[in-house]
C-alpha cells in the first residue's frame, strides 16, 4: 500500500464512481479499478461493493477512508515542505576562485548574481589552483571555480569557459617575428611561468616534455603580472593566457599563440565527489553556466 493507492481510493470514495474518479485523477477507469483491486488484495478486505445504484463503500472501506485522509494530508504537507526547502533561495554559499579566474569571467558576474539573489550570502575566497582543490576536498567551501584538469577520482567538474595560452616575447627576441609558436621553438629559451601551485604550470611543462625537451624555467611566480613584466624587461619568454594581454599590455612585447590548440586554459566548476549537492550550489552552477 502506498500514497498513490490511498489517493486513488479516496477519490473513488469522494465520487462514488470509478469513471468520475478516473477522470478527476487523469487515469483510465481500467487502471483505477486495477489499482483498487490490488489494494483490496493486499489488505485482504473488500473496500467497495456494487449495487443497482452504483458502488457503495464497505465498513472496511469506511474505516480506511477515515484513517487514510489525515495520512494523505500529512504526506502532502511533508512534500510541500520539502519542495519549499528545495527552492528556497537564501542561506550562505562559500565559493573559491583560482587566482585570475574572475578576470576571465564577465566582470560583473558576481555582483549580478548577488542582485538576482539578495538573500544568499555569497562568500568569495581566492587561492591558487591546488589550494582550491584542497579546500573543496576538506569541505571548507561549497565549490570552486578553478583551472582544469582536475582529479576525477575526487572531484566532479564542468568546463564553463575556455581560453588559450600564449607566449610573451620581447621584440628583441627573433621569435617575436613568428605568427605562432611551436613548443619546440622554446627548447633553448629561458621561460617564465606561474608556479607549481597552478595547473597551468604543470600543463605547460607536460606539453614541453611531449615535444621532447624539459623546459628551462628560470622564474616561477604566483602573480601573472610578474610574468608580463619579466617579458617586458626581456628576462625571458613569459607563458600567459590570451585574455590577460588585454589588461597587461606592453608595447615592446608581442603576444603569440601556440600552434597546438589542444593546449587550453579551461575554467571548471568543481565540487567534491560523493558530497551532497545543495540547492544553492546547483543555483550558482546554473547561473555561472548561463552567464558566460
CA 89 to mean position of chain CA atoms: 17
Question: Do 140 and 212 share a domain, yes or no?
Answer: no
Question: Do 282 and 258 share a domain, yes or no?
Answer: no
Distance CA 99, CA 97 (A): 6
Question: Do 229 and 98 share a domain, yes or no?
Answer: no
Task: Give the other-Cβ count within 10 Å of 203's Cβ.
Answer: 19
How does 79-92 read in b/e, with b if 16+ C-beta sit within 10 Å? eeeeeeeeeeeeee
Compute the average pLDDT of residues 206-233: 96
> What is the model's pLDDT at position 53?
84
Domain boundary among 54, 87, 120: 87
> Taking a C-beta distance cutoff of 8 angstroms, is the pair 99, 127 a contact?
yes
> Taking a C-beta distance cutoff of 8 angstroms, is the pair 154, 142 a contact?
no
Closest CA to 194 of 202, 184, 186: 202
> Taking a C-beta distance cutoff of 8 angstroms, is the pair 271, 156 a contact?
yes
pTM, rounded to two decimals: 0.75
| pLDDT tens per residue across span 148-198 | 999 999 999 999 999 999 999 999 999 999 999 999 999 999 999 999 999
Closest CA to 271 of 156, 115, 193: 156
Domain span at residue 191 reads 165-262
| pLDDT tens per residue across span 66-96 | 999 999 999 999 988 888 777 778 899 999 9
Domain boundary among 52, 87, 122: 87
| pLDDT tens per residue across span 234-265 | 999 999 999 998 888 899 999 999 999 999 99
Quickly count helices (H) and strands (E) in the chain: 11, 12
CATH of the domain at 16: 1.10.10.10
| pLDDT tens per residue across span 3-55 | 999 999 999 999 999 999 999 999 999 999 999 999 999 999 999 999 888 89
Amino acid at each position: 500500500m502506498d500514497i498513490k493507492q490511498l489517493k486513488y481510493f479516496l477519490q473513488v470514495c469522494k465520487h462514488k464512481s470509478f469513471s468520475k474518479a478516473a477522470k478527476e485523477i487523469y487515469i483510465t477507469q481500467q487502471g483505477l479499478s486495477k489499482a483498487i483491486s490490488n489494494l483490496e488484495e493486499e489488505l485482504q478486505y473488500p473496500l467497495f461493493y456494487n449495487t443497482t445504484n452504483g458502488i457503495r463503500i464497505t465498513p472496511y472501506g469506511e474505516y480506511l477512508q477515515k484513517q487514510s485522509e489525515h495520512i494523505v494530508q500529512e504526506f502532502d504537507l511533508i512534500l510541500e515542505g520539502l519542495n519549499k526547502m528545495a527552492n528556497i533561495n537564501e542561506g550562505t554559499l562559500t565559493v573559491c576562485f583560482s587566482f585570475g579566474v574572475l578576470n576571465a569571467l564577465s566582470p560583473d558576474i558576481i555582483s549580478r548574481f548577488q542582485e538576482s539573489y539578495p538573500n544568499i550570502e555569497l562568500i568569495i575566497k581566492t587561492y591558487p589552483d591546488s589550494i582550491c582543490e584542497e579546500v573543496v576536498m576538506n569541505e571548507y567551501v561549497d565549490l570552486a571555480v578553478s583551472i582544469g584538469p582536475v582529479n576525477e577520482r575526487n572531484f566532479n567538474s564542468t568546463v564553463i569557459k575556455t581560453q588559450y595560452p600564449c607566449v610573451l616575447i620581447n621584440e628583441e627576441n627573433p621569435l617575436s617575428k613568428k605568427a605562432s609558436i611551436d613548443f619546440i621553438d622554446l627548447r633553448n629559451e629561458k621561460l617564465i611561468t606561474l608556479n607549481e601551485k597552478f595547473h597551468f604550470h604543470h600543463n605547460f611543462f607536460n606539453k614541453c616534455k611531449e615535444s621532447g625537451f624539459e623546459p628551462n624555467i628560470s622564474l616561477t611566480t604566483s602573480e601573472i603580472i610578474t610574468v608580463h613584466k619579466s617579458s617586458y624587461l626581456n628576462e625571458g619568454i613569459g607563458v600567459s593566457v590570451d585574455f590577460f594581454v588585454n589588461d597587461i599590455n606592453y608595447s615592446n612585447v608581442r603576444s603569440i599563440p601556440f600552434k597546438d590548440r589542444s593546449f587550453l586554459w579551461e575554467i571548471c566548476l568543481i565540487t567534491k565527489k560523493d558530497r551532497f549537492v545543495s540547492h544553492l550550489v546547483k543555483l550558482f552552477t546554473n547561473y555561472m553556466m548561463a552567464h558566460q
